[in-house]
Amino acid sequence: MMSIDTHAHVFVRGLHLAVVRRYAPDYDAPLADYLAQLTRHGMTHGVLVQPSFLGTDNRFMLDAIRSSPLPLRGIGVVDPDIPRETLAAMADEGMAGIRLNLIGKDIPDFYSGPWPRFLRDLAQLGMQVEIHRAAADLPHIIAPLVAAGVNVVVDHFGRPDPSLGVRDPGFAYLLSVAATRKVWVKISAAYRNGADGVGERIARDAIPLLLAAFGAERLVWGSDWPHTQFESTADYGTVRALLDEWIPDASVRRTILATTPAELFRF
């Protein structure tokens, strides 16, 4: 039975690192280890997300997709001035979209420079845009992307402020854009939204609100393997088990694990 993990990373030491980066791990997370995790936990498909510390060099990720015996897709990181033909070639290689990891970065002006043409190319190629940013800033990002016609995927519950949780106005905004039917949310990496169990509590509060607003057909699950910067407190089995707690209805879980991501990531 199909089960899709929509958020994981693979890398090894010695790869070319981005000049500007917040972090770089001192260990390997190779494809073979990720595939072993998928198999061990009953997952049949995976989505690799380009790690921020590798910048726009997506070759390692694309090589992993090509060589994998299990079906994989990719979410890359590219510059907005990338030629359309290059994007199209990456799509043909299994890249379903691009990620804007805007943690610690300026929010782009999506209405000027290369952005309008870039977003138009993404929309025409059927490629999604994934967002990683604090919830407070989502209105400045989601609105222009939806206006450009691209599918938008918001990482990690939308990253609400740990002190506010689901009372974060940015999270309320996220719920409001469900009506566009152009936005999906990853229920993943709860631990990134607050230490000492705070993130998990926010997740439990957020799940019924997300289901009510988006429905299971706009929610996907990701392991966030290998849980960079949280390796000592998170593991694949634990985060997968949390999904069963959050979504006790097996039919709803099936939609989140299979039906929705199969369409969104073009499996």
Structure confidence by residue, pLDDT tens digits, 79-94: 999 999 999 999 999 9
Over residues 105-110, the mean pLDDT reads 95
Tokens of 215: 């429905």
Question: Distance between CA atoms of 77 and 88, rounded to whole angstroms?
Answer: 14
pTM, two decimals, is 0.96
For 26-68, how does the pLDDT look when each residue is reduced to its tens digit (9 = 90+)? Answer: 899 999 999 999 999 999 999 999 999 999 999 999 999 999 9
Average pLDDT over the chain, rounded to an integer: 96
Tokens of 252: 């709803």
- Stretch 141-160: mean pLDDT, rounded? 98
pLDDT of residue 20: 79
Retrieve residue 51's tokens. Answer: 């790690």
Among residues 263, 174, 189, the alpha carbon closest in space to that of 233 is found at 189
H-only helix segments in the chain: 31-40, 59-67, 84-92, 115-125, 139-147, 169-176, 198-214, 236-246, 250-254, 260-264
Other CB atoms within 10 Å distance of the CB of residue 143: 15
